[in-house]
Structure 1
């Protein structure tokens, strides 16, 4: 009832334990706290909060318009409704190295288990779009050093994302990843790799866990969990899947409502009232009222 029974520190320790090369841990993305207990119920390993999804939920494109406060608040709301560890997208760290340091502490305070910080210029672009630009190695490593120095809980996972592959060779991408690890990154997120062999090559080249981004309509093929695990991937995210699924259903229902004058044709595709009540644990709150909070009015 209310929030998770697992503390943020325990979630961070759990993330460290499961983040093993070749484990292929699945972290579905969510844009709403309501999905968090559902993801946990289905047996997944953790939650992912995408910066693109948080921007889109606000009706904005993913070009660095969201603020640290918006991201920390929403990610914290999601994280506290599940016992699973939550990884959040911190974009470019929301500013210069000092801003990056504050970002890490704000996300720690919000109960997140870890974050990733990327090496794009700000304003950034979606990782699977063309026309991205990355900062120089010194700027990229300064961000990670600042984040590592600011971290208060040693188990808070500091992941570095590199967008080098969009404009540079795989070897140059690996060189950048190694620099980021040397600067203090605990794990690497190589965005927009071309194929399974590139994932395999990156995993072999690095001594830290590697993340695979399985976003729809992107640069990478939608590989299975087994394929990615066999390539050495430790963690797999599905950042926009739930948002796209939800918005697709919303659009179909609105079309039916406009065309038919009623939503009746779509009702069998909706979550029932009983199931929604189950997800939000109405029974637990009712039991609390009956057993703890009940009192007689004088």
Structure 2
């Protein structure tokens, strides 16, 4: 066989296995990246070095700590469920419908991400407080008062966390391949079947990623919660509020509670990332 001297091009790389070429990092960029990493990691290192390891277990499993942790887990889970019920349809409307002024609506949805949380709490009081726009009618007609209850914690957490879910699902829906949905519809599939068997699997990782971010944000919510729900032990005193109060009387307890909250948040993120958020075609 005669060699032609022309290199034969390799076959196409399977989808999901393509890798970007590694670029050499300049010294300046490496220094800035290292400084950014230190900026993020150093506070956690200081927290670990200053932790009262001799008393840590006793402080972490004390009654107030477990009570606040259990309340935080319950309210963050409920807030995430509420965000899923309301946020996924909202993301669908933003991504797939001809909603009037979609850009304005998308901007309004993201406001809680940049709004000081305490302002969000004041806004919730203006809406749902006993003298609020809606709250006064709930109190007069039904005898229902929402502020300073566990339900108020869930509402406050959902208010500040929902944008993370909506933006994640919105991005997943806009980047999904709609030709697959059209093909399924052409073959006679109903809208519900297309959504359940085609659309949902396509955007599932985006929904899970948004739910994880939503849960983590709800677990760490402080400003809107303390303003709208107060700090009643066993009722509205979540982990962030317990940490804040402990700083005034027992700093070691505050450090121990902070470590518990960090470990809980990281465990949730790592567990869900290994199952749902790992990119296809290679290690994350």
TM-score by length of 2: 0.22
Question: Which structure features the higher share of helix residues?
Answer: 2
TM-score by length of 1: 0.22
Greater CA radius of gyration, 1 or 2?
2
Task: Tell which has more relative contact order, 1 or 2 (C-alpha 8 A, sep 6+).
Answer: 2
